[in-house]
């Protein structure tokens, strides 16, 4: 055999010789390639001819191995096939005749062939289509039954034919007797009748004998079967456990009957119902209509509208963040009532249906404490007219909340409705305690005002103490939470305050601290490319300014007061830059001094540097005149001297009016 590569390496003369040897047809004008392909074709043809003439593959017959089967045995009928396999081909001759006789009996039993019924019963039961052997055995049994039935029918017909022939013979004899003399007619007829009846009785007796024999044989077989069942032991049992057969299945008491299956894996016997340990369910209850909870469950929360148009009512228990208690508000309801982000909604909800996660809103009762019809045409917060604070928050009216801190603030830096107050404090100067005293004083003397304490980047223990001691709504975000959460909480609190101011309410926000809020906005805001001193982004302080600048007194009713703290002297350049940005934005400034707190003089207020813009709109003329004189008196003092002189005189008086009256003495 030549390959194409081998032929390509040869010249034309060699190729011609090879072609002649193989008998390939070539011409003198053929090219080397044509000669090569002629040689390859000839090789392929000769190879196929050799394969065709070769010897065919011989088929090998695989003998069928007989599998071990389990046979049922009734009484004495049966064989132990396990012992039959293990029995040797030739056994030594027995010394006794009885043994030889037993061997002959057993050998005759082994040589005895099985009937079709026994062979069919020996085949193990299985699911699916019946085998060919089973079909043959069934056909043989049916044929045998038909033959037996035909034999019985033939026997019955023969008996009837015998009866008919006897009857016909008796009739002929009777006719012959009629032809005789009338004298002997009666005697002859009587003899003929007796003869016919005797033949008939003999035929019936033969039939009864055959039937009785069959009945007796059947009864004997039944008796043997019953005895075998009663004994339960086969005489040929070797008692070694090799032919152990289970004759009765043990019942399964704790389950239903195990069903048998057909060829399609469907149970052929009904499964018994198992015992039920549950109380029966009343099926009539399902037909009753479900109870309607639509107008029963009440809910409230602050609305947050998503970019897709729908919204959720956030709960203050979760600091207005996402929670399982949120109420779903559809976009159609938002458009119908003219709702905005930050609206405080009191409504009715219904339980969620299948596939719903939240309680959906069904009916709105109040929006920001007002009728929904009055809210739709409200003026936006940005379009309201801001004014200077004209009404002062009284901090010294209630004796329970009146202390030296509130008296100093009320006298030297009065706070009005719509004030934008900034408490400038160094670390550990008591600013948090001062804010707590001011908040409790406003809550006690002005119950119409709505107070919110917003704690940003604060310690958790401070949050707990503030929530337990201040009569206000505390919304907090501790320092261990991300800056995004600080920003989100501050934004939703501001939106809630704006919506309430639009409805004419007086709202006070205590922010601790605005420096940390500005840090959070600086972290969250995208980089603009311009960075100020201390790493502050140029656009990062825009939103904190919008928050602080929202404080205003509204013409026609309503006000938003923001009292925020700003940190200084923390060692951070960023805090100094933030304070400088907010320094001139407030219209009230209260400065705390570290030197006073170090001497344990509280409140540690720098009286010379603390003041309120346009305080003439908040205090009466007598108080203004006396404060004018008092400020001139302490102007040349340092913070410690000024606070000591005022502190000693205030302790001796019970109120600020009494303190001002004692100035002339």
- For the annotated binding site, the residues are 416-421, 428-433, 459
Asked if 582 contacts 545 with a C-beta cutoff of 8 angstroms, the reply is yes
**Between helices 483-502 and 514-524, what is the axis angle to 10°?**
120
Closest of 308, 516, 347 to residue 427, by C-alpha: 516
Say if residue 444 is preceded by a cis peptide, omega within 30 of 0. Answer: no
Asked if 24 contacts 38 with a C-beta cutoff of 8 angstroms, the reply is yes
CA 307 remoteness from chain centre: 28
Dihedral sign, Cα of residue 190, residue 192, residue 195, residue 199: negative
| Longest Cα separation, the chain | 189
CA distance 345 to 301: 6
Asked if 456 contacts 509 with a C-beta cutoff of 8 angstroms, the reply is no
- Spatial neighbors of 357 by CB under 8 A, at least 6 apart, are none
CA distance 337 to 330: 11
Asked if 267 contacts 260 with a C-beta cutoff of 8 angstroms, the reply is yes
Say if residue 513 is preceded by a cis peptide, omega within 30 of 0. Answer: yes
Cα dihedral value 567, 569, 571, 573, nearest 10: 70
CA distance 424 to 413: 13
Give binding residues for ATP as ranges.
Answer: 416-421, 428-433, 459
Tell me how long the chain is. Answer: 665
317 DSSP 8-state letter: G
- Spatial neighbors of 46 by CB under 8 A, at least 6 apart, are 22
What tokens appear for 429 in the block? Answer: 């100067």
- Spatial neighbors of 9 by CB under 8 A, at least 6 apart, are none
What tokens appear for 541 in the block? Answer: 């302080």
3-state SS, one letter per residue, for 116-133: HHHHHHHCCCCCCCCCHH
**Between helices 621-634 and 404-412, what is the axis angle to 10°?**
100
Closest of 324, 325, 327, 332 to residue 308, by C-alpha: 332
Asked if 80 contacts 233 with a C-beta cutoff of 8 angstroms, the reply is no
């Amino acid at each position: 055999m030549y390959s194409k590569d081998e032929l390509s390496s040869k010249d034309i003369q060699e190729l011609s010789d090879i072609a002649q040897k193989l008998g390939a047809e070539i011409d003198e004008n053929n090219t080397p390639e044509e000669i090569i392909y002629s040689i390859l074709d000839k090789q392929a043809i000769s190879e196929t001819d050799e394969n065709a003439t070769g010897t065919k593959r011989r088929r090998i017959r695989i003998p069928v191995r007989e599998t071990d089967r389990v046979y049922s045995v009734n009484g004495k009928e049966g064989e132990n096939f396990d012992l039959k396999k293990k029995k040797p081909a030739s056994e030594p001759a027995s010394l006794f005749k009885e043994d030889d006789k037993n061997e002959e009996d057993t050998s005759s039993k082994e040589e005895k062939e099985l009937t079709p019924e026994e062979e069919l019963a020996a085949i193990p039961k299985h699911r699916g289509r019946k085998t060919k052997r089973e079909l043959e055995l069934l056909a043989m049994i049916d044929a045998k039954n038909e033959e037996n039935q035909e034999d019985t029918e033939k026997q019955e017909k023969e008996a009837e034919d015998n009866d008919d022939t006897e009857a016909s013979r008796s009739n002929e004899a009777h006719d012959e007797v009629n032809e005789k003399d009338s004298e002997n007619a009666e005697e002859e007829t009587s003899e003929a009748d007796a003869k016919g009846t005797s033949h008939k009785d003999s035929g019936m007796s033969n039939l009864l004998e055959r039937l009785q024999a069959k009945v007796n044989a059947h009864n004997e077989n039944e008796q043997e079967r019953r005895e075998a069942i009663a004994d339960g032991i086969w005489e040929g049992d070797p008692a070694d456990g090799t032919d152990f057969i289970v004759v009765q299945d043990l019942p399964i008491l704790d389950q239903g009957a195990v069903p048998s299956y057909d060829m399609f894996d469907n149970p052929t016997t009904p499964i018994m119902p198992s015992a039920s340990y549950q109380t029966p369910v009343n099926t009539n209850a399902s037909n009753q209509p479900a109870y309607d909870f639509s107008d029963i469950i009440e809910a409230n929360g602050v609305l947050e509208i998503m970019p897709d148009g729908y919204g959720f009512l956030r709960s203050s228990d979760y600091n207005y963040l996402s929670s399982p208690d949120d109420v779903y508000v559809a976009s159609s309801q938002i458009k119908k009532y003219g709702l905005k982000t930050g609206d405080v909604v009191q409504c009715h909800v219904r339980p969620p249906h299948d596939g719903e996660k939240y309680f959906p809103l069904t009916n709105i009762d109040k929006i920001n404490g007002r009728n929904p019809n009055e809210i739709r045409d409200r003026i936006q917060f940005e379009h309201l007219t801001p004014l200077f604070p004209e009404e002062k928050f009284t901090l010294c009216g209630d004796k329970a909340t009146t202390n030296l801190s509130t008296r100093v603030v009320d006298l030297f830096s009065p706070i009005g409705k719509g004030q934008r107050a900034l408490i400038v404090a160094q670390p550990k100067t008591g600013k948090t305690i001062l804010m707590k005293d001011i908040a409790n004083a406003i809550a006690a003397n002005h119950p119409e005002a709505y107070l919110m304490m917003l704690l940003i980047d604060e310690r958790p223990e401070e949050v707990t103490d503030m929530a337990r001691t201040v009569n206000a709504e505390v919304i907090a975000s501790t320092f261990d939470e991300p800056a995004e959460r600080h920003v989100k909480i501050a934004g939703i609190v501001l939106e809630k305050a704006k919506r309430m101011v639009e409805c004419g309410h007086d709202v006070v926000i205590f922010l601790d601290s605005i420096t940390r809020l500005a840090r959070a906005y600086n972290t969250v805001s995208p980089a603009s490319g311009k960075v100020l001193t201390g790493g502050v982004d140029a656009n990062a302080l825009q939103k904190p300014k919008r928050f602080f600048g929202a404080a205003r007194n509204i013409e026609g009713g309503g006000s938003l007061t923001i009292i925020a703290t700003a940190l200084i002297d923390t060692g951070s350049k960023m805090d100094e830059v933030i304070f400088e940005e907010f320094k001139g934005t407030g219209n009230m400034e209260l400065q705390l001094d570290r030197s006073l707190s170090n001497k344990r003089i509280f409140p540690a207020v720098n009286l010379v540097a603390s003041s309120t813009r346009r305080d003439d709109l908040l205090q009466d003329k007598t108080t203004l005149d006396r404060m004018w004189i008092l400020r001139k008196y302490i102007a040349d003092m340092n913070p410690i001297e000024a606070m000591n002189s005022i502190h000693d005189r205030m302790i001796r008086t019970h109120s600020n009016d009494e303190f001002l009256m004692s100035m002339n003495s």
